[in-house]
Amino acid sequence: MSARFVVFFGRRLLRGKGGTARYLRGAVLGIAVSLVPLVVVLEVSTGMIDGITARLLEVGTYHLQVPLSPDMTAAQLESVAASIAAVSGVTAAVPERQGTAMIVTAHGAAGVNVRFVPPDIFSRDEGFRAYVTIRAGNGTLSGRDALLVSTSLARTLGIAPGDTVSVLTTWAEGFSGPARISAARVSGIYETGYQELDSALVYAPLSFANLVLSPRAARALIGVKVINPFGDLARVQAGVAAAAGGRVRVSSWRDIEFARLASFATTKALLLFIMALVVIVASVNVSSSVLMIIIERREELGIMGSFGAGPRSLSLSFLMAGFFTGLAGTIAGIAAGLLVAVNINAVISGLEAIINLGVSAASFVRRSFAPTAASFDHVTLFNSAYYLKEIPVRIEPAEIALVAIGTLVMCALASYLPAARSARLRPLETLRKV
């Protein structure tokens, strides 16, 4: 029999209007349904990790960090930053001091990390400007006592632009002795979209550090941005170290955020492994479907065998049927998964609305029988306090192609055993038993 017969019979098994075709159609549905969560997890986790990583690089750790002596003055830090900015491959060099403080208002107090940066950081650092959004006031840090606080911190302390707050810091070395109390003015309220990064982070002018922090109670550094932070940074690191004096250890973002990024990668791999197991189970269903077709079509197979259809042709036909089943399920599943992934924020909001509608109804029924009973708690499926404010989605064609190829290979392998069994059928013996 020709190759055309193999393809024709394989497609006919799947496209039949009734009978045994229902088995393969059920397998198509199973594969499609199993691929939807895999694709959603794959694309959403990729977008989430990329979104968090970008904010860590551009707002948190910089691409490179150059630690310097805490005794250096603001003018000396600016001088070193200017030398580093001239290094080939460097796009920005930001002098910075970091320290801990307590912000006290009439509504409460909160411990914060204070980053003392140049007032022109938004114009100096393009990456910082891209991910730090000013929600109220302004972000110029004009004035020596200006503060830029996050939306979550402003909400907690009940402060707004223009308010005056007290800043408690330690002045004595070793974080001992009485605290220094300084007044500061809230110039703006910002947001990065990543609550863990900015919930307890405050920005202040670099000159303000000398007024509220002892040099020994602060950390001095130069934050460096480069052209390609994801490439090989060794050459740039060497140039930056030489520009900073040659006796400093320049750390890359990979070194600083190694533990966090490794945790992200491990979590993603574990989720994908669990989802892949579901796809494997659905692929095995193709094997049972092909086997049921062989059992129910023994008479037809015997007739075709007696008219010259060889065992190899029949075997390849069933293998082709399994392949077409996997192909149809893969296309449908990936399409549905991408549709859900692209609209994941709306999907989660809709599910929350439906669930909380049921919760409200349950609370109403409960209070009807027990008026003093408390209402059921509001259900939140996605808590932005631990993740990004909105889930970013990044479609990776290479990952989608790998999922598609893997699914097709598993379906073909699952079809092989029953297809090989069909090759062992003897036409005359089959017809005799029918």
**Residue 1: predicted pLDDT:** 47
Tell me the residue length of the chain.
434
For residues 330 and 410, what is the distance between their CA atoms, to the nearest angstrom?
11
Asked if residue 60 has pLDDT above 80, the reply is yes
**Residue 38: predicted pLDDT:** 87
Q: What is the DSSP letter of 185?
A: E
More confident residue, 308 or 338: 338
**Residue 419: predicted pLDDT:** 63
SS3 for 145-209 is: CEEEEEHHHHHHHCCCCCCEEEEEEECCHHHCCCEEEEEEEEEEEEECCEHHHHCCEEEEEHHHH
More confident residue, 206 or 21: 206
Give the pLDDT band (50/70/90) at residue 239.
very high
**Residue 432: predicted pLDDT:** 47
pLDDT tens per residue across span 176-213:
556 788 888 999 999 888 877 887 889 999 888 888 88
Structure tokens given for 20? 């045994």
For residues 395 and 158, what is the distance between their CA atoms, to the nearest angstrom?
39
Other CB atoms within 10 A of residue 170 CB: 22
Structure tokens given for 308? 């010259």
In 147-232, alpha helices (H):
151-157, 195-198, 209-212
Q: Give the chain's radius of gyration (CA, Å).
A: 32
> Would the CA dihedral through 30, 31, 33, 38 be positive or negative?
positive
Asked if residue 431 has pLDDT above 70, the reply is no
**Under 8 Å CB-to-CB from 217, ≥6 apart: which residues?**
99, 169, 170, 171, 172, 173, 175
Taking residues 141-148, report their average pLDDT. Answer: 85
Average pLDDT of the residues of the chain = 80
Q: What is the DSSP letter of 379?
A: P
**Residue 412: predicted pLDDT:** 81
Which H or E run includes 224? Answer: strand 219-226
For residues 391 and 387, what is the distance between their CA atoms, to the nearest angstrom?
8
Q: In this prediction, what percent of the chain has a pLDDT beyond 70?
A: 80
Rounded to the nearest 10 degrees, the angle between the axes of helix 258-296 and helix 298-306 is: 70
SS3 418: helix
pLDDT tens per residue across span 326-372:
888 889 999 999 998 888 888 888 888 888 888 788 877 877 777 77
Asked if residue 172 has pLDDT above 60, the reply is no
Q: 């533990």: which residue's tokens?
A: 259
More confident residue, 389 or 50: 50
Taking residues 48-69, report their average pLDDT. Answer: 89
Name the most confidently modeled range: 4-18, 231-245, 253-267: 231-245
Structure tokens given for 330? 């893969």
**Which amino acid does the sequence have at 34?**
S
Other CB atoms within 10 A of residue 67 CB: 14
**Residue 374: predicted pLDDT:** 73
**Residue 427: predicted pLDDT:** 47
User: Which of 21-25, 39-43, 378-382, 427-431 has the weakest average pLDDT?
Assistant: 427-431
More confident residue, 247 or 229: 229
End-to-end CA distance of the chain: 24
For residues 308 and 38, what is the distance between their CA atoms, to the nearest angstrom?
44
**Under 8 Å CB-to-CB from 266, ≥6 apart: which residues?**
none
Which H or E run includes 135? Answer: strand 133-137
Taking residues 240-253, report their average pLDDT. Answer: 88
Give the pLDDT band (50/70/90) at residue 7.
low
Tell me which residue of 326, 292, 278 sits closest to 27, measured CA to CA: 326
